[in-house]
Structure 1
Amino acid sequence: MDSIADELFRERLYFKNAIPIDARSFILKSESSQTHRDILIKQTNRTMSVDTTILERQIDGVFCTDGMLHYSPVLRRVVYVYYYRNQYILADTNLARVNRFRTIDTTSRARIKVSIIDSDGSTTLGVPPVVVNRRSCVFGVWLFIQSGLVGDNEDPNDLSRYALMDVYNLATHQYKFSFYLPFAGRNQLTSFAVFENRIAAVYGQHLFAYEMRPDAFWD
């Protein structure tokens, strides 16, 4: 059977990230042309609705709200994980019902410094930011977050050898467990995805598959 691509966006729309909700709609992360702050948009082939309140400003409204956009078809919830604070967000597909939850890290306010470039007035990060949540992935009701920081009872050198993964149940809003994902040789983790009880992890040009114990996810 042949597939025909249809035009979805009828107008010019700049976006930073997009996730499909179904065959005719997307959730987009964009930047307001008026405030220049990050916003979320639901776009269909007929309508566009904009939300300016879900991503809460702490400093500049751009870098401080930066994060990763996901979707759980099982829960029919949009998931947003901040990079620089200990929070993730659940919202329905209309961006109407919104709930906010804390991760096990203690960094509630983004530790970033924003600088203005004199030549063109644009902004940039003045110093390397403190990354709380480095990468994330959603599968079913499970949220996997690669932590950017170690806990008080952990060895700081561990982050040079392993990716520290924290797992949360999005249905119960609870932290479940953590585990270490070893780096492949000297290559650090660059991306990962979860399928059932398997993790596909990319280290530079290498792809590895790991299997997790299924009983780890039993409640």
Structure 2
Amino acid sequence: MARRHHISLMLVIGVMIFMGVTYLMSSSKPSDRNPMLMPDKSPSKPWSKGGGQTDITVPDRVLAGGAIAPKLENATAKAELGRASWKLLHTMMARFPEKPTDDDRLALETYMGLFARLYPCGECASHFQKLLKKYPPQTSSRNNAAGWACFVHNEVNKRLEKEEFNCEKIGDFYDCGCGDDKKKGEKGADKEEGGAAVSLEKEGGLMRGG
């Protein structure tokens, strides 16, 4: 009997401890349970995770910090990386919405800031960060985004003493992969979907940002 009484007492104590811990965890604030959820008081850009989840923020120091990668010594690897990166950026701009939402524009601006920091060639990244500061991304439309990308590409070409692009024909050089759109037979598909026609329109002062 004494042994059964002892076991029953231990079970009761165990249940009470479990209930007490559960109550404390349910009554504490999210930030008390997870320090990663503590609000960041530093200046930042809002960034929604979507799906009704809590918004997170990207502190300005993350976007404005220096290049992360070291210098890339291999000239061949550097050239291949540059060609692939410009292909990505020009195709991205050609597929950007003609009438982007505020979230679309913020996504592109944030991406370019992070792209510049994380670019695998540290020296190239530093130069590109200076370009972004002087000529911020233009995101009010697909045409402006594509024109801006061609403009900064030519700025890089000038520094490297390479031939400049005719930005009105940038879509002919960088295929946006819009073949399916063209097959639909829609008039103006190249301009509306492919982004083949690009002009350097000023958007609040494209040549100096704004």
TM above 0.5: no
Higher normalized strand content (fraction of residues): 1
Higher relative contact order (CA 8 A, sep 6+): 2
Greater CA radius of gyration, 1 or 2? Answer: 2
